[in-house]
Amino acid sequence: MFNKFFGFWSKDIGIDLGTANTLVYVRGKGIVINEPSIVAVNQKTGKILAIGKEAKAMVGRTPGYIAIFRPLVSGVVSDFEVTEQMLKYFIDKVHQDGFALIPRPRVVIGVPSGVTEVEKRAVEDAAYNAGAREVYLIEEPMAAAIGARLPVHEAVANVIVDIGGGTTEVAVISMGGVIASRSLRIAGDKLNEDILRYMREEKKLLIGEATAEQLKCSLGSAFALDEELEGRVRGRDLISGLPKEMTVSSEELREAMERSVGAIVLAVKNTIEETPPELTADLFNRHIFLAGGGALLRGLDKHIAEETKLFVKIVDDPLAAVARGCGFVLENVGQLKSVLVSTQKDEFI
């Protein structure tokens, strides 16, 4: 009874609970929050010091007793209590300008397609404990396809590749269901690690995760560029132990990420191979759609197109595709209820 009362003043929200970033869609408003999935905790007191952007600004700059957590690993909850606090922070932030003293929103959350029932329940429980009155889950590739406005309920092949921070989700969708899929724990974070390792082993230069991500965004590519790029990178020389600056090229970073990019392309090819021939035939006249932050890696669309001999297209605003899909489900739940995978039996009213 009280939940329904407080829910009257609450805002229904869709959440892309990602390994790297969390995006929040508010019904009727669109995406209102896009912050890193990072939490800073004082280990002496157990108190949470910062969440989101404020916590990311602390990475690599804190004393030993302040720990920086990513409460989600490969898209699933690794620290339940910290995830709960992070969700509560985002729910409260959405309602800070409203009339709800105790927000009790309905929530749709995107989860990787390969998660277990236990992992689904962990996400649900964290959201309930954070203040949600109803929680529904949707698989991320389905949410990304809906967010890209693909005709998921038609009898045609919709191929979506969602490359996030912790996971790459590949799915062939038709008639509102997933026909074939792959969930790969190789994505943006793994590409950062590849660059870190390459710089350490080949260049003898120690750099931080933030620097590796910056290099990936500014110089990284998955396919040969018409004009290769070069940039300067600073770190610690592993031989002398002193600060050092050197030049690195897009060709070198492509070499560093080659194995991981190849695994993503192979997952796409294997998923297509598992697709029934009637749907495979559709692909000659349709695109493979790329979503997620990893879709922005230069030349990845060309690389996949060359390997599959099919058309490849990056969806509009790929970073927000899953959150848009969750929001679209909120606003059209009558038509899209069948795509939800939550074990919660309560239905939207």
Residue ranges of the annotated binding site for ATP are 19-21, 165-167, 213-216, 293-296
b or e along 225-254 (b: 16 or more beta carbons within 10 Å of the residue's beta carbon)?
eeeeeeeebebeeeeeeeebeeebebebbb
- What gap in Å lies between CA 69 and CA 180, rounded to an integer? 33
Which parts of the chain are beta strand (E)? Answer: 13-17, 21-26, 30-36, 39-42, 47-51, 66-69, 72-73, 76-77, 106-111, 134-139, 158-163, 168-174, 177-184, 205-206, 230-237, 243-249, 287-291, 311-314
- What gap in Å lies between CA 37 and CA 323, rounded to an integer? 14
Identity of the residue numbered 252: E
The secondary structure of residue 11, as a DSSP letter, is -
How does strand 134-139 pair with strand 106-111? parallel
Binding residues: 19-21, 165-167, 213-216, 293-296
Whether 107 and 143 have beta carbons less than 8 Å apart is answered as: no
CB count, 10 Å around CB of 73? 15
